[in-house]
């Protein structure tokens, strides 16, 4: 099963903002890719760009299907980390910078791949 977190259905062409303006920047994508590759060589980093230019990164386990898959994207409120594990997707939280996202991934993996429930930050 391939995971495509960047695809979003738009009901009308006039009601949605241009998501590419809030997308991951090339600098953020590059910094995340380098940090994730240094973090572990057993993960594959995929760049996914939607039809409207919204860029996100998907971190896939190369060998072990029991490990979670991570999706990292950005919108107007910050960087977002989503976790797909055992066919369940959970938004893990919003972060201000790349280092916080990497720390969150490390925490999830140290907890055996189970994302912890995070209270919404309204």
**Is the whole-model pTM more than 0.85?**
no
List 48's β-bridge partners, or say none: 56
Contacts of 121 (CB under 8 A, 6+ apart): 93, 94
The pLDDT, as a whole number, for residue 92 is 87
Is the CB of residue 3 less than 8 Å from the CB of residue 69? yes
Q: How many helices (H) and strands (E) does the chain have?
A: 2, 5
Nearest 5°: phi and psi at 69?
Answer: -110, 135
The pLDDT, as a whole number, for residue 112 is 66
Which parts of the chain register pLDDT below 70?
A: 1-21, 39-41, 112-122
In Å, what is the CA distance from 7 to each residue of 67, 90, 118? 23, 16, 24
The pLDDT, as a whole number, for residue 11 is 45
């Amino acid at each position: 099963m391939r995971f495509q977190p960047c695809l979003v259905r738009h009901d009308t062409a006039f009601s949605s903002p241009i998501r590419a303006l809030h997308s991951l920047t090339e600098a953020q994508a590059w910094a995340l890719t380098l940090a994730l590759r240094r973090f572990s060589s057993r993960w594959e980093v995929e760049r996914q760009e939607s039809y409207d230019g919204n860029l996100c990164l998907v971190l896939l386990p190369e060998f072990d299907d029991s490990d979670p898959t991570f999706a990292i994207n950005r919108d107007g409120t910050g960087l977002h980390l989503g976790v797909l594990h055992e066919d369940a997707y959970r938004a893990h939280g919003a972060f201000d910078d790349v280092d916080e996202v990497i720390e969150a991934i490390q925490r999830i993996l140290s907890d055996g791949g189970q994302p912890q429930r995070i209270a919404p930050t309204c």
